[in-house]
Amino acid sequence: MTPRADTAVLPSDALVLGVDVGGTTIKGEVTDGAGTVLAVGAVATPHGTAAFDAMGELGDRLLADLPESDRRRVRRAAVVLPGIVDTARSVAVFSSNVGWRDVHVGDRFTERWGVPTLIEHDVAVAGWAEWRYGAGRGYDNVCVVVLGTGISGTLSVGGRLVRSSYGQVGEYGHVPVRRVGGLPCACGNTGCVETVASGAAIARAYTRRTGRETSGAAEIFALMSTDPDAAAVVADAVDALADGLVGIVHAACPELVVLGGGLAGAGAALTEPLHRALSDRLRLVPAPRVVLGEFGARAGLAGAALFARRGALT
Ligand SMILES: [Zn+2]
């Protein structure tokens, strides 16, 4: 009989398997109640629906790595997926990065691994983890912005994660902020936040301005204090991010904005100017504090384990 993916909180002696599917890498971990990693692995993400076979094989391998006594303690798994995920119907609806459309996940992992397996949207899980267990813990009204290749995030209001009826959350990267004279966005619109403030956009803007290629946004953050072009490019990104967030701040009045994801490694070079830019734009509502996430680029994987353990994004 197929085990039921019940949503009760697991006992502390249970182990969980978390799998985080990214555009380039699928990562997995088996962890205990204290977060100690007992098995870990990663594989390159194949294009298209083959990615689901790779997720299955990675999970097989991690479970097989465990001694039998530990294997029996694995009580639940969670697989977090990019793109659009319909958790109610258990369908991976669309991922432009990995290249799948309408893949029914159903019980495939539950049957393969022999433990109840939940699926969720990677951003929802990463944002929830930062809010409940990372930099946002203890606050009821928190906007988490996940900065990386793209820009997205979550919003928690009154102690609840805001979700649409089909699971979509904070597409902050596609708020248009440069409609006149802006760059085309991969989504089809013009001048979205992502066209100015994503890691790739920051690197491209620096190259356009200086003619110099870089290894990516991290290099430009590192150059800021000595290179006026780098400082100008980051200032423009902060400006676009603040314009994109100001409507959300007016609508929900979060106490805290948490910057997560890979780009948040820039630290105070991002949090302080963003707080200033928001303060400059706000008259009627208080400017939220802007802090760094605690999980960084690991939020998806750490969140998958926490979600598997808790059983729900509550
Ligand atoms: Zn867009």
**pLDDT in the model for residue 267:** 85
Question: What does pLDDT average to over the chain?
Answer: 93
Question: What would the pLDDT profile of 99-114 be if each residue is shown by its tens digit?
Answer: 999 999 999 999 999 9
* 1 has a pLDDT exceeding 50: no
CA of 284 to the centre of ligand 1 (A): 28
CA of 96 to the centre of ligand 1 (A): 13
CA of 189 to the centre of ligand 1 (A): 5
Question: What would the pLDDT profile of 197-239 be if each residue is shown by its tens digit?
Answer: 999 999 999 999 999 999 999 899 999 999 999 999 999 999 9
CA of 181 to the centre of ligand 1 (A): 14
CA of 200 to the centre of ligand 1 (A): 14
Distances (CA, A) of 23 to 30, 52, 65, 123, 149: 21, 13, 25, 13, 10
Question: What would the pLDDT profile of 286-310 be if each residue is shown by its tens digit?
Answer: 999 999 999 988 999 999 999 999 9
CA of 243 to the centre of ligand 1 (A): 14
**pLDDT in the model for residue 3:** 45
Q: Which residues surround ligand 1, an ion (CB under 5 A)?
A: 174, 185, 187, 189, 192
CA of 170 to the centre of ligand 1 (A): 13
CA of 191 to the centre of ligand 1 (A): 7
Quick one: pLDDT band at residue 5, thresholds 50, 70, 90? low
CA of 39 to the centre of ligand 1 (A): 38
CA of 187 to the centre of ligand 1 (A): 4
Output the CA angle 114-119-121, nearest 5 degrees. 160
CA of 169 to the centre of ligand 1 (A): 15
Per the confidence metrics, is the pTM higher than 0.85?
yes
How far is Cα of residue 260 from the mean position of the Cα atoms in its chain? 8
CA of 192 to the centre of ligand 1 (A): 5
CA of 178 to the centre of ligand 1 (A): 11
